[in-house]
Amino acid sequence: MSLERKAIPIIAALLAIGFIAGLAAAALTPVIPQRVTTLTTTQTIVTTRTEAYTAPLERTATLTVTTTFRLTETVRQPPRLPLELEVKYSKLFEIKLFDGYKVVRDALNRTLILVPRGREPPSGLSGLIVYTPVERVVLMSATHVALVERLREHAPWILDRVVGIMWGRGYEWYFEDVAERLSRGVIRDVGPDYSPNFEELVALKPDLVIIYTFPGSDLPQRLDELKIPYVVNNEYLETSPLGRFEWIKLIATFFDLDEEAYRIFAEVERKVGVVVDDVRRSGFDAPLVCWLMVYRGTVYVAGGESFPANALRMLGARYAFSDIKSTGSVTVNIEEVLSRCRDADVVVYPTSFVSSLSDILSEAPELKEIRAFKEGMVYAYSPTIYQLGYYDTEGWVRSLAIILYPNLYPGGEARYFVRLGG
């Protein structure tokens, strides 16, 4: 998620969020309606029967009889989706079916009732009504854009439904069509997440705003006051790569693209599984890894139950702070870092705002005692990680495997991490 750039004006308050960028894992069970088709077939069958009659005058007559049958049969087609479209890894949202209506629980535990256009809202269900498929959407995060772009592979029209983006001109965009539409004003930049232009937001008349929340944000309250429908997508709080990417199912359901999201997710899950299996079969020793960042003299490390820790665990690495029971980042002193990380094979420095080892050592010169610093095995984030790295979750996992096990994929490019020199 592009919280790193968003954190510039409020870096002290949001550092921990920008650092972990994605947290949690569980299983929920939404349901997709079965499709039933009634097929009526008319079939005409002609039969000819010839009978001979012998009259007193010994003449023969031939009679032809034609019979028509009407056959009506009902064909019950199997659904193109499983009846239970599992949410297998995410724990902060769910989608269920009640009397033919999809009902969404978002990351703030709010209930949204999705009503197909042309139908009346259901009785007996309470929640925010959203008519689907949505036609005018505003996105808050570059990671939300990334999921829309992935859905676009199966539904090219979906970007036409995006009318606004927060931080639209605040990013360097790696999705070319998004950048081009922003430059022409087809997609409007409605300002930063902490202070959007509400007048422009209202003028866009969105059917839905997809937001995330963070400490101190009053955006949900402001949208409630303006009666602008929104859904809270806090994918960055999931604690596994697949848990984060699975939020594609939540975004897709508002566009009636449930089947497409299911197919995409199943393929991503399969490819991630291939990388995990490659690591297990390789027989390589498990590397010791430290995932840390220094800001104004304070060292932040990913907790042992966080997104980075679980990603490392999935790939068989040993994480130096795995015993710290936190899903977020925690602060530690430099002595503890050296005690745990002195023999680290790899250090991941989760920001794209450094370009060399000296940038880090100027903040904490003691880190030069860590083996990974001595051997040049320190990696920072690529600037593309928050957009393309989320869009391409399977590629992100493969990139991480490459820096952990340099001999696993000879010649492979760790495209979402940058090895730091000097």
Rounded Cα distance between 21 and 235, Å, is 9
Closest by Cα among 177, 141, 142 to 160: 177
Tokens read off for 199: 């007048």
As a whole-number percent, the residues of the chain with pLDDT over 90 amount to 76
Evaluate whether 210 touches 145 at the Cβ level (below 8 Å).
no
* 288-295 and 137-139 strand pairing: unpaired
- Looking at residue 71, its pLDDT comes to 54
Confidence of residue 19 (pLDDT cuts 50, 70, 90): very low
Q: Name which residue leads in pLDDT, 175 or 38.
A: 175
* 288-295 and 298-302 strand pairing: antiparallel
What does the pLDDT average to over 173-193?
96
Evaluate whether 230 touches 209 at the Cβ level (below 8 Å).
yes
- Looking at residue 68, its pLDDT comes to 54
- Looking at residue 7, its pLDDT comes to 38
* 230-232 and 208-211 strand pairing: parallel
Mean pLDDT for all residues in the chain: 86
- Looking at residue 11, its pLDDT comes to 36
| Least confident range of 8-22, 150-164, 282-296, 385-399 | 8-22
- Looking at residue 422, its pLDDT comes to 83
pLDDT tens digit sequence for 118-176: 999 998 889 999 999 999 999 999 999 999 999 999 999 999 999 999 999 888 999 99
pLDDT tens digit sequence for 295-342: 998 999 999 999 999 999 999 999 999 999 999 999 999 999 999 999
Residue with tokens 């949001």: 14
What does the pLDDT average to over 359-384?
97
What does the pLDDT average to over 237-258?
97
Count the alpha carbons within 13 Å of 312 in the hemisphere toward its beta carbon.
26
Give the largest Cα separation in the chain, rounded.
127
Q: Name which residue leads in pLDDT, 57 or 319.
A: 319
Rounded Cα distance between 16 and 138, Å, is 26
Check whether 56 has a pLDDT greater than 70: no
Check whether 27 has a pLDDT greater than 80: no
Classify each residue of 286-325 as buried b or exposed e, where b means 16 or more C-beta atoms within 10 Å of its C-beta: ebbbbbbbbeeeebbbbbbbbbbbbbbebbbbebbbbebe
pTM: 0.81
Rounded Cα distance between 125 and 105, Å, is 13
Q: Which long-range contacts (CB under 8 A, 24 or more apart) does 321-327 make?
A: 321/290, 321/291, 327/20, 327/23, 327/24, 327/237, 327/239, 327/303
Residue with tokens 């430290």: 290
What does the pLDDT average to over 402-416?
96
Closest by Cα among 100, 143, 343, 357 to 236: 143
Confidence of residue 99 (pLDDT cuts 50, 70, 90): confident
Residues 6+ apart with CB under 8 A from 232: 106, 107, 108, 110, 211, 212, 213, 220
Evaluate whether 312 touches 239 at the Cβ level (below 8 Å).
no
Rounded Cα distance between 105 and 183, Å, is 35
